[in-house]
Amino acid sequence: MSELLIVILIAPVLACLGIAAGLPAKKTALMTVLFNLVASLLLAFKFQIGSAGYQFVSSIPAMSLGNYFNTNLKFGVDGLSLLLLLLTTVVSAAAVAVVPNDIKRPREFFILLLLVVSGALGAFLSIDLFFLYIFHEIALIPTFILVGVWGNQDRKFAAIQMTIYLTLGSMVLLAGLLGFYFAMPENVRSFDLEEIRVALTASPLAASVQGWIYLLLLGGFGILASLCPFHTWAPAGDAAAPAPVAMLHAGVLKKVGIYGLLRLAVPFLHAGVHQYVDLFLILILLNVIYIGVVTIWQKELGFMLGYSSVMHMGMLFLGIASMSVLGLTGTVILMLAHGFDIALLFALNGEIRRRAGSTHFADLGGLAQRMPKLAFLFVIGGLASLGMPGLANFAGEIHVFFAAWKAFPWWVTVLAVWGIVISAIYILRAVRNIFFGDVPSTLPQSEDLVKWSQRWPFVMLALALIVIGFYPRILTVFVQPVVNSLLGL
C-alpha cells in the first residue's frame, strides 16, 4: 500500500502538469482530488489500528541532501498523519468542487490550488522534519499568490501581510528546526522523526537547550497557526482569500503549526514546555478570550470566521499545553473538527458572497427564506463552531476542558470554558443577521443550492462533523496509540 501513498502525493502534481498541458482545468482537478479522497479512505481501511508506528513507509533516497544534513525524503502514516491526510483530502475535494465555473484564469487558479494541496499532503505525510518544512513552504507560496490575485476586498494588503508574517514565521521555524538538529549529539543527528525518537529517548536534550528551542518552535509554529499576538494576518488573509483558498488555508494549512508542535515539542521538549507553560497559557487565554471578544464586534462574515478560527486555535493549543492523553486527544479531534467546520463555513461564506453580493451583516438578512438549504448547512456549521454536542467540535472541546481542568489552576479552565459563551454570542449573531429577520430590499434575487452537484461538498463536510460528533471514538482509536507514544507512555 505504500505505493498508494506515493500516488496520492504525486497525483496533484501530475494534474498540475496536465492542466498546464491543456487538460480541462476544473474537471482534471476535481478528478484528482476525488481520486485522492477515495485512495486515502482506502488507506484508512487498510491501516492497522492499534500500533503507534508508521505504516506504508517508503523513502526516496535519491533526494537525500548529502552528508552535511541527514535528511531523507521519507513518507509514511501513523494514526495522527492518517487522520490529517483524510482531513486534507476531504477539505481539498470540497475546496476544488466549490470553485465557481466563471473564475478568471482557471488554468492558473487550479494549478496553484493543486500545489497547495500537494504541499499540505507532503507536510502531513513526511516523516522527515526538513521535508515537512519544505512541503509546507510549497503550500504557502501559492496561497499568497491566490490571495493576492483572486482575492476580494482588501486583497493586496492581506496578501502582503500574510506573506510577511508567514515568511517571518517560517524563518523562525527554520531557525528552531536547525537549532533542534544541531542540539542533538553529532553522531545521531537526523531530521528523521523515527531516528530522532530513538536518539532522544536514550539521551534527552538538556533542559536549558530544550527551553530556547521550544521558544523558537513555539514562535514559528505559533505564527503559522495564528497564536495571539501573531494572528492579525489570519483574519485579514482568510477574509480576503477566495473561498476555496480560505478553506484550504484555515482548514488544513494552519493545522501544520499544531501538527509540528505535536510531533516535536510534545515528545522531545517536555522540559521546555513545562518551563514556559505560564507564557503559553497567557497567550492561549488571549487567543480564546481577547480574540473571542474581538470576534463579537466583527461586522463582516469573512472577518468573523477568520477571527473565530483564531479563537478556536486557542483551544487546540490548550490541549497541547496540558501535555496529557486527554488534552492531546482533544487537540487532534479539534484539528479535524475545526478543519471540516471552518472549511464548511468559508465555503458557505463564498456562496453567500456570490449570491448576495456582500457579506457585510448590514447588507444581509432573511436569507433563510430564499435559501433554506444553504441556511440549514450554515446553521450546522455554526452550531459545530459554538460547540454543540452531536457535532465534532464539542467532542474535542470536552476533552480539552477535562485535561486543562486537571493540569492547570482552576481559573485557566474557567476562562477557557467562557469561550463557549463567547462563541455562542458571535455565531448566533451572524445567523440572526444573515438568515433570520426581514430580507433587505437591496438584496439581489438568487437561488438556493438546488442541485446535488452544487450541494455535495457542503453535505460531505457537514456529514463529517456529524459522524465525528456522534461517535468520536472513530477518531480516538486511531489517535490513542500515537498520543501515548508521543507522551512516552
Partner 1 sequence: MNWVVLLAPLISAVLITLVLHPMKKLSVLVSILACAVSFLASLCLFYNNGAMHLSSIDWLDLPGLKVQIGGMADHLACLMLLVVSGVGLCIHIFAYGYMKEDPGLSRFFAKLSLFMFSMLGIVLANNLVMMFIFWELVGLSSYLLIGFWFQRPSAAEAAKKAFIVNRLGDFGFLLGILGVWLAWGTVDFKELSQQVASGHLPALLANNPFAVTLIGIGLFMGCVGKSAQFPLHVWLPDAMEGPTPVSALIHAATMVAAGVYMLCRVFFILELSHQVLQVIASLGALTAIFAALIATQQNDIKRILAYSTLSQLGYMVMAVGLGATQAAMFHLSTHAFFKALLFLGAGSVIHSLHHEQDIWKMGGLWKKMPVTAWTFLIGTLALTGCPLLSGFFSKDAILLAAFQHNKLVFSVGIITAGLTAYYMFRLFAVAFLGKPRSHAVDHAHESPLVMTAPLTILAALSVFGALFGQEEYLGLEHANHGGGWIVMGLSVCMFVLGISGGLLLYLKSREEPIHISLFANKFYSDELYEAIFVNGQQLLARLLDWVDRWIVGGFLVRGSAVLSTITGEVLRLLQGGNLSAYVMVFIVGVVFLCYWVLVYLKPLF
Q: What are phi and psi of 19, to 5 degrees?
A: -65, -40
Which of 104, 106, 166, 117 minimizes the C-alpha distance to 11? 117
Residues sharing a CB contact under 8 Å with residue 12, sequence separation 6 or more, in sequence order: 32, 33, 36, 114, 115, 117, 118, 121
**In DSSP terms, which residues pair with 126 in a beta bridge?**
75
Shortest Cβ distance from residue 77 to partner 1 (Å)? Answer: 22
Stretch that binds partner 1, among 53-61, 230-238, 269-277, 446-454 (CB under 8 A): 230-238
**Residue 102 or 438: which CB sits closer to partner 1?**
438
**Residue 119 or 222: which CB sits closer to partner 1?**
222
Can you tell me which of 50, 100, 185, 389 binds partner 1, judged by CB under 8 A? 389
For the segment 320-339, give every residue that binds partner 1 (CB under 8 A): 325-326, 329
The CA distance from 397 to 334, in Å, is 7
**Residue 27 or 406: which CB sits closer to partner 1?**
406
The CA distance from 154 to 159, in Å, is 9
Shortest Cβ distance from residue 407 to partner 1 (Å)? Answer: 11
For the segment 265-294, give every residue that binds partner 1 (CB under 8 A): 290-291, 293-294
Stretch that binds partner 1, among 130-138, 259-267, 433-441, 449-457 (CB under 8 A): 433-441
Confirm or reject binding of residue 118 to partner 1 (CB under 8 A). Answer: no
Confirm or reject binding of residue 401 to partner 1 (CB under 8 A). Answer: yes
Can you tell me which of 297, 362, 409, 488 binds partner 1, judged by CB under 8 A? 297
**In DSSP terms, which residues pair with 58 in a beta bridge?**
75
Can you tell me which of 405, 446, 448, 456 binds partner 1, judged by CB under 8 A? 405
**Residue 272 or 419: which CB sits closer to partner 1?**
419
**Residue 111 or 325: which CB sits closer to partner 1?**
325
Helices (H), ranges, 71-128: 79-97, 106-125
The amino acid occupying position 378 is F
Shortest Cβ distance from residue 425 to partner 1 (Å)? Answer: 6
Confirm or reject binding of residue 440 to partner 1 (CB under 8 A). Answer: no
Place of cell 454570542: 425
The CA distance from 205 to 208, in Å, is 8
Q: How far is CA 383 from the centre of its chain?
A: 19
Q: Are 260 and 222 in contact (CB under 8 A)?
A: no
Confirm or reject binding of residue 402 to partner 1 (CB under 8 A). Answer: yes
Can you tell me which of 148, 339, 472, 481 binds partner 1, judged by CB under 8 A? 472
What number of other Cβ atoms are within 10 A of residue 414's Cβ? 11
Query: For 200, left (φ over 0), alpha (ψ -120 to 50), or beta?
Result: alpha
Shortest Cβ distance from residue 273 to partner 1 (Å)? Answer: 20
**Residue 36 or 359: which CB sits closer to partner 1?**
359
Q: How far is CA 287 from the centre of its chain?
A: 16
Burial of 206 (0-12, 13-18, 19+ CB in 10 A): exposed
**Residue 128 or 300: which CB sits closer to partner 1?**
300
Confirm or reject binding of residue 160 to partner 1 (CB under 8 A). Answer: yes
**Residue 15 or 80: which CB sits closer to partner 1?**
80
Q: CA separation (Å) from 431 to 293, 298, 386? A: 17, 13, 12
Which of 177, 284, 163 minimizes the C-alpha distance to 233? 163
| Total interface residues for partner 1 by CB under 8 A | 55
For the segment 353-382, give every residue that binds partner 1 (CB under 8 A): 366, 368-369
Confirm or reject binding of residue 459 to partner 1 (CB under 8 A). Answer: no
Q: Are 152 and 119 in contact (CB under 8 A)?
A: no
The CA distance from 489 to 482, in Å, is 10
Place of cell 507532503: 122
Confirm or reject binding of residue 383 to partner 1 (CB under 8 A). Answer: yes
Confirm or reject binding of residue 432 to partner 1 (CB under 8 A). Answer: yes
Residues sharing a CB contact under 8 Å with residue 279, sequence separation 6 or more, in sequence order: none
Shortest Cβ distance from residue 294 to partner 1 (Å)? Answer: 5
Can you tell me which of 69, 212, 361, 418 binds partner 1, judged by CB under 8 A? 418
Contacts with partner 1, residue ranges (CB under 8 A): 160-161, 164-165, 229, 231-233, 236, 290-291, 293-294, 296-298, 325-326, 329, 366, 368-369, 383, 388-390, 394-395, 398-399, 401-402, 405-406, 413-414, 417-418, 420-421, 424-425, 428-429, 431-432, 435-438, 471-473, 476, 480
